[in-house]
Every structure is written in structure tokens, then in C-alpha cells.
Amino acid sequence: MKKSGVTKKRKAWKTILRFVVSFGLMGIILYLFREQLPLVFQYLKEVQPLYFGMAVVLFFVGLLPVSFRLRYVIQVHGTKLSVAAAYYVNLIALFFNNVLPSSVGGEMMKAYYLYKDSKGSVSVFSAVVVDRLFGLITMLLISISTIFFFDSAQGSHKIMGSIVMLAASTITLGIFIFNKKIVDTLCQLHIPLLPAIFIEKIREIYRAMYEYREHKGIFGRCVALTLLGQTTYIFANYLLARSLAIEIPLVFFFFFVPILLLMGAAPSVNGIGVREATFLFYLTEFTTSEKALSLSLLTTFFMILVGMISGLIYAFKGGLAAEEKKVSLE
């Protein structure tokens, strides 16, 4: 009973922290740009609908390879999932990402629906972890690889510093995920400052990924599908910039969008405040701060819009439709 109370208290404090970070950062940014806000809103009024509409369509097209990836990931655990059902589950996750104060909330709902419609197969929770991990690792690799194609990056301390940190993080993550000896050693250590839940998460991720070593074909397909899905999302962000007539090299978005998605995991309410700060930090290397802020606000509206569209679909269907309930245990 006491443990349950402590857990609830921690969750409450985490929620408070998210609101403080998001609206604190947003308040600071709006205060600092109070004199430029009329110009920012003027830019937003001049959004070109064609580019914006193309970005919305491309975003939902990009969910298709991501849905195929989820289907393959689930397949490893002996569960069959139709592409239509996988796509719908991803729409549900999108919707709940907008109504819950964390991007992880959508993943929780995705796991819940997969668990419910797989007749209680616990393995779907590992599958959701792996699905998210595929996205994370691929995003990191895409961002790091831009150093070979993005000449302007070599003259930017911000971008070069970020790439170095991303490379170090990717190597560390790879060691934790794929090296059994290190995982076993780490899990046996009793480090006072290292939370037990963190150790358990490492163990959970390793166990989830271990099963995929015997399915190299599926592993390769998942990586390819993730690359395709992330690329469409990157192009969608580029189109958003074009809708505001902001001239930024396309290759920059291959570096920036993965960073943006990673920052979404920071304690915040759906990335509000953190997203705007990230835009201002990086985009001012290529455009004015007013345009950078206007693009960040447009991106926030864009994410809310796709979440609303997903929510409307969810409201009309209310769950996996009978004809789409093709999740079954082998």
C-alpha cells in the first residue's frame, strides 16, 4: 500500500515537472520574442497551403513502412498482425501522444491494444520496445551520417558537437544492447546512484533484442523500413519549411529531424517548449530567429493536426474493426 502511494506521488511529480518544463520554456521564449511576435504571426499567416498539405499527406504515407515494421517485429514473437491493424495501432499511438503528457504515452496505448487483440500475449510489450528501438537507432545513424554530405556542418560547432555526442551515444547504446557480458555485469552491480528500474530497463531491452539475432532477414527488413519511414517524415518537415518560404538545405533536415524526435523524449508536454527551443538553437545557423520560431510553431500545429486526424479515425472506429482483427497467435 505504501509502495503504491510512493509510485503515485512520483508520477504526480513527473507530470508537474513536464508542465513546468514545457510552459516554463514556452513562457521564456514568448517573453524574449515579445517584440518580434507580430512578425512571427505574419509569417504564419503566409503559409503556402500546397506545401503544408503535401507534408500532411506525406506524413501519413510514412506511417505505412512503419506499420510494416511493426508487423515484422510482432511476427518474431509468434503473433500475426495485418498491415491495416498495424497502421491503425500507429494512428492510436499518434492520437494519445497528443492527449497524454508524454510521447511514451502513445507507445503504452499501442502496447495495450496489441496485448488486448493478441489474446493476452505478453510478448507484444517486448515487440513495442523493439519497434521503438529500431526507430531510435536508425534516427541516430541518419543524423550522424549527414556529416559526410553536409558541408555546412563542418563549420558549425553546434552541429559538429551534436554529431559527436550522438555517435558516442549510439556506440554506448549498441554495447548495452548487443553485448551479453556487459549487460550481465551491469545487472549484477549494486550502484547506489543507479536506479534499479534503469537496470531492469537495460535487461528488458537486451532480452527483447536478443530474439532478433535469429531473424536476420526480419532485422534487415525492419532497418530498411525504418529508413524509408524516417525519410518521408524528414521530407515532410522540409515541406513545412518550404511552406513558410524558408530556404534551408534538405540535408540539414536529415541531421535535424532525428535530433527533434529525440528531444521529444525530454520531460515535457508533447515536446512543447522543448521543440521551440531546439528549433531556435539549430535553425538560427541558417535563417532568422523569427522564421525559426514560426517554423517551430507551425510544426507544433502540424503535430496537433495529425493527432486530431488520428483521433477522429479512432473516435469513429473505437478499436480494431472486425475485418481488421487479424491478430492471432500461431
Give the pLDDT confidence of 21-33 residue by residue, as tens digits. Answer: 888 888 999 889 8
pLDDT at position 328 is 43
Pair type for strands 328-329 and 79-80: antiparallel
Per-residue pLDDT for 323 more than 50? no
pLDDT digits (tens, 9 = 90+) for 181-229: 665 665 565 555 455 555 555 565 666 566 666 666 777 788 888 889 8
Q: What is the mean pLDDT of residues 155-180?
A: 72
pLDDT at position 240 is 96
Q: At CA 173, angle to CA 172 and CA 174, rounded to 5?
A: 90
Mean per-residue pLDDT of the chain: 77
The total of other beta-carbon atoms located within 10 Å of residue 207's CB is 12
Alpha helices, H only, 179-195? 180-188
The secondary element (H helix, E strand) that includes residue 80 is strand 79-80
First to last CA, the chain: 39
Q: Which residue has the cell 525519410?
A: 231
* Dihedral pair phi/psi, residue 77, rounded to 5°: -90, 15
Per-residue pLDDT for 142 more than 50? yes
Instruction: Say which amino acid occupies 213.
Output: R
pLDDT digits (tens, 9 = 90+) for 234-281: 999 999 999 999 988 888 898 888 888 777 777 777 778 888 888 998
Give me the DSSP letters along 236-272.
HHHHHHHHTT----HHHHHHHHHHHHHHTTSSSSTTT
What value does the CA radius of gyration of the chain take, rounded to a whole number of Å? 21
With cut-offs at 50, 70 and 90, classify the pLDDT of residue 45. very high
pLDDT at position 122 is 53
Q: What is the mean pLDDT of residues 51-74?
A: 91
**Half-sphere exposure (Cβ direction) of 162: Cα atoms closer than 13 Å:** 27
The CA distance from 180 to 322, in Å, is 42
Q: Which residue has the cell 498495424?
A: 86
The secondary element (H helix, E strand) that includes residue 79 is strand 79-80
Q: Which residue has the cell 536476420?
A: 216
pLDDT at position 325 is 46
Per-residue pLDDT for 111 more than 50? yes
The CA distance from 227 to 115, in Å, is 27
With cut-offs at 50, 70 and 90, classify the pLDDT of residue 155. low
Q: What is the mean pLDDT of residues 65-91?
A: 83
DSSP 329: E
Percent of the chain with pLDDT over 70: 70
| Residue 170 cell numbers, joined | 549510439
pLDDT at position 16 is 80
Global pTM? 0.79
With cut-offs at 50, 70 and 90, classify the pLDDT of residue 89. confident
Per-residue pLDDT for 94 more than 90? no
The CA distance from 207 to 187, in Å, is 13
Q: Which long-range contacts (CB under 8 A, 24 or more apart) does 307-311 make?
A: 307/94, 307/95, 307/97, 307/98, 307/99, 308/98, 309/56, 309/60, 310/91, 310/92, 310/94, 310/95, 310/98, 311/95, 311/98, 311/99
pLDDT at position 198 is 52
For the CA atoms of 88, 91, 96, 98, what is the dihedral angle to 10 degrees? -170
The 3-state DSSP composition of the chain as helix, strand, coil percent (nearest 5) reads 80, 0, 20
pLDDT higher at 122 or 66: 66
**Do residues 283 and 181 touch, judged by C-beta distance below 8 A?**
no
